Amino acid sequence: MSVPVVQFKNVSKIFDAGTPKAFTALKDVSFTVNDKPDHGEMIAILGPSGCGKSTLLNLIAGFASHLPVTEGEVLVRGNLVTGPGWDRGMIFQKYSSFPHLTVLKNVAFGLDMNRERLGLSRADVTTLAHDWIKRVGLAGHEHKYPKQLSGGQQQRVAIARTLAVRPSILLMDEPFSALDEPTRIDMQRLLVELWQDVEATVFIVTHSIQEAVFLGDRIWIMGTNPGHLAVEINDILPPSNGVDPAVAMTDPAYLQAIKIVGEEFERAAMGTS
């Protein structure tokens, strides 16, 4: 049995512990995500606001704002998480790119930092950066700055710069929430297409049940007071491989899954799961 990609062992996180402001964001969270070679896995995380979804992602990312955990262990490939690493890429709702760098330099930045690990020459970095820019549909925009791009295009830059360094874990915190519906569907299409190539394990926090059902191989629904993993759903989720998100939305199997997940979500939000 190989080492799990990510494992939480009885993790609790209390912010401002020991002070009057102490707040339990996560309580006794345990899960194991095993490696699925040649595939990766997409885990969609849903839950009411404030139930600790971002906290869970930030702990996997190893951000100093969230470490250490108060109790338990967060392990990535068997190692305790003590800080960020290039093996874990994070995409936020906004501002995932450097505002002072062009699209080309944004995408080349991570590749440059990882030249040795990835065995790249300087020329390879430029070639790969151009290649990723093309793959996310931004050819012709290489010399623009993020603020000169639309919200959807900015997320394309974030996806290119994050996936280019081939993280084995991709953490996405409501990456498409700020986008309009057609753009969001375009981004879902792009993510599925690229993910099949990168084969990363993906944790995606979303507030959209439809998005969770389309993207997730499994869905975790979190509950509040304090934040915990309430339910895991996988057996009713139709496969997304090769399915267009716009078409999926009219498929009875999807609509049925959306209904069931919606009911579980309601239950978690009301604190009854």
What residue ranges bind ligand ADP (CB under 6 A)?
15-16, 23, 25, 47, 49-55, 65, 227
Q: Which is nearer to ligand ADP, 53 or 184 (CB)?
A: 53
Q: What are phi and psi of 121, to 5 degrees?
A: -85, 170
Hey, what are 105's tokens? Answer: 């330099």
Q: Which is nearer to ligand ADP, 15 or 98 (CB)?
A: 15
Minimum distance, C-beta of residue 49 to ligand ADP, in the bound complex (Å): 5
Q: Which is nearer to ligand ADP, 229 or 258 (CB)?
A: 229
Q: Where are the beta strands (DSSP E) in 122-200?
A: 169-173
Minimum distance, C-beta of residue 229 to ligand ADP, in the bound complex (Å): 12
Query: What are the residues facing 169 on neighbouring strands?
Result: 88, 201
Minimum distance, C-beta of residue 111 to ligand ADP, in the bound complex (Å): 30
Q: Which is nearer to ligand ADP, 104 or 268 (CB)?
A: 268
Q: Where are the beta strands (DSSP E) in the chain?
A: 6-15, 23-33, 41-46, 71-76, 79-80, 88-91, 169-173, 201-205, 218-223, 228-233
Residue 59's contacts (CB-CB under 8 Å, 6 or more residues apart) are: 8, 11, 13, 26, 66, 67, 69, 74, 81
Minimum distance, C-beta of residue 56 to ligand ADP, in the bound complex (Å): 7
